Structure formats: C-alpha cells, structure tokens
Structure 1
Amino acid sequence: MRDRQPARGELRAREFEAFVAGAAGRLLHAATLLTAEAPDANPRARRLLTLALAHTYARWDRLRGEDPYDCARRYLATRFAHTTWHRHGALGHARSGPHGRRGPRGPLAALTPRERLVLVLRIYEGVAEEQTAALLGLPAERVHTICDRATATVLHPARPALSGGVATKAAPS
C-alpha cells in the first residue's frame, strides 16, 4: 500500500506537467488579454496564470472527469473579476493600472475590464453565452450586449481627437 503512494504522486505530477505544457501558453495569452498588458510585459497576467494553475493542481485529484482546462479558465476569469472589482470598486470602470499609471498596453486596452472579460471568454475562448453569463452572474442578454459593444470597440476604435479640431498636413520635404 505504501509503495503506491509515491507512484500515485509521481503519476499525478506527470499528468499535471503534461497539462501545463499543453495549456499554459493559451491560458497566459487569455490572462494577458484580460489584464490588457503587453505580451512581453505582463506581470499581472503571469500572476493570474500562476494562481489558476495552483488552484487546478490543488483540485487535480478531485476533478473526476471534469476538464482541467475549463477549471483553470474559470478560476482565471473569476480571479480577474474579483481582483478588478476589489481594486477599482466596479468591474466596468477601471482603464488604467495601479495608482492611475498606464503600463504597456495590449490590444484590448481600450475596453473596460468587464468588456475584456466577456470578449475573451466569448470570442477567444469560445465559451457559450449562457455559460459566460452563469460564470459572471449576469443575464445572457447582458453578456450578449457587452460582447457586441466590446467587439465593435475593437473592430472600430475611436480615433484620437486632433488638437484644435483642425487637421494639419505636414509640409512636403
């Protein structure tokens, strides 16, 4: 009986390592999109990934047929929502980093945290509208509206205002 304990622990470690090897890159990319950090400067995303993988490893033996990727993704999304909510008071309003500073910006930086969360889950991760709504505690119609607005913002970004309201052409050199 005692001989099986170390073997089981080694098997668990190898299974989890294989899972991480296959899933960590995609989960890190999702976390980087959520945090709106640049891919090469993403400490918040890496922390989210680490926490999600640690949570998944802690539950590894209890998953029993549950998809470990889905478990890690759910934790990543709820942890992002929770930390954003507590850091900024509302999931939909913060657009800059801690202490009001803007760090390197990722492709979804123009979106609110809630818009990023819905867009990443729905478009990047392919999570169904109803599942996203249940995960976030929102009505499905609200998730649909947020996703539509976020998609429109990403596909048709607002142009920066010109100073003085008049466009100036550079003189030919």
Structure 2
Amino acid sequence: MRERHASHHVHRAREFEAFVAGAAGRLLHAATLLTAEAPDVNPRARRLLALSLAHTYACWDRLHGEDPYDRARQYLATRFAREAWHRYGVLGRARRPPAGPLGGLTPQERLILVLRLYEGVAEEQAAALLGLPVERVRTVCDRATTALLRPPAARARPVAAEAKAATP
C-alpha cells in the first residue's frame, strides 16, 4: 500500500514538473504584464506565479481532465485582481505608476488586456472569470488598446504663451 502511494506521489510530481517546465515561462510573462514590472526586476510577478503554481499543485489530483494551464491562469488573474482591489481599492489611492509597457493602464485594464490579447481568452470567459458584464469587458479592452496604440501627447505649451515669447 505504501509503495502504491509513493509511486502515485512520484508520478504526480513528475507530471507537475513537466507542466511547470512548459507553462511557467508564459505564466511569468503574463504576471509581469499584469504587474507592469520590468521583465528583469519583477518580484510581484514572481510571487503571483509562485502562488498560482502552488494552488495548481494543491488541486492537481482534482483536475480530472481539466486543463492545468487554465486553472493556473484563472488563479493568477483572480489573485492579481484581489491584490489590486486591496492595494488600490475603489478610490484608486495615489500610487507610483509602474514602469513596464502596460504601466499607464489601470490594474483592471491590464488584467482584461492580458487575458484577452495575450492569453486569447474569449470575452465571455473573461467576463465570467472577473464577474463583469461582457459589454464592460469589451469596453475596457477597447479603451486599454486605444490607450496603448495612441498614448497621450506630451503636454505642449499654450499657444498664447508661445506667441508672447516670440514677440520682441
């Protein structure tokens, strides 16, 4: 009996190691995009990844044919959303903008954009995962995409000030 349990644990560990070898890089990249940290300095993203993988390992025997990557991604997304809620709350307390490529977006915009565009999650699935209406997910994704493709122009000096400076 003990040998069977030991064999099961070894098999489970090998399966999980193979999963991590194949999925950890992509999940870390997704977490780095979510946290908007620099790819080489991303402690929050690494923490999110570790928590997501630990949760997936804890549920490993109960997956029963479910895709472990989907489970890990779901946990990563919901954990990020929960942490963002606790960190910034409804009022979005003052914060230093993250330096990553998605740093100009709000946490919700980053989350929806990463799920939809980087991970390829359908609007309906993203909405169900986040507890939002499909229309809200679509609107936030469109707004975030527009913000990335058309960043606000640098503040220009007012025309009147330029005209005054040019006159002798």
Deviation (angstroms), 1:102: 4.7
RMSD: 1.7
Distance in 1 separating the partners of 2:51 and 2:158: 47
Contact 1:37 1:45 in 2 (8 A): yes
Deviation (angstroms), 1:2: 1.7
TM score, norm. by length of structure 1: 0.87
Distance in 2 separating the partners of 1:165 and 1:81: 40
Distance in 1 separating the partners of 2:97 and 2:144: 20
Contact 2:113 2:145 in 1 (8 A): yes
- Equivalent position of 2:29 in the other structure: 29
Paired residues in the alignment total 160
Distance in 2 separating the partners of 1:26 and 1:18: 14
Deviation (angstroms), 1:29: 0.4
AA of the residue aligned to 1:28: L
Per the alignment, in what secondary structure is the counterpart of residue 33 of structure 1?
A: helix
- Equivalent position of 1:52 in the other structure: 52
Contact 2:97 2:103 in 1 (8 A): no
Distance in 1 separating the partners of 2:96 and 2:112: 24
- Equivalent position of 1:137 in the other structure: 131
1:114 aligns with 2:90: no
Distance in 1 separating the partners of 2:113 and 2:61: 31
Stretches of structure 1 that go unaligned for 5 or more consecutive residues are: 169-173
Stretches of structure 2 that go unaligned for 5 or more consecutive residues are: 163-168
**Inter-CA distance 114–12: structure 2 relative to 1 (3 Å threshold):** same
- Equivalent position of 2:9 in the other structure: 9
Higher CA-based Rg = 2
Deviation (angstroms), 1:158: 1.0
Per the alignment, in what secondary structure is the counterpart of residue 3 of structure 1?
A: helix
TM score, norm. by length of structure 2: 0.90
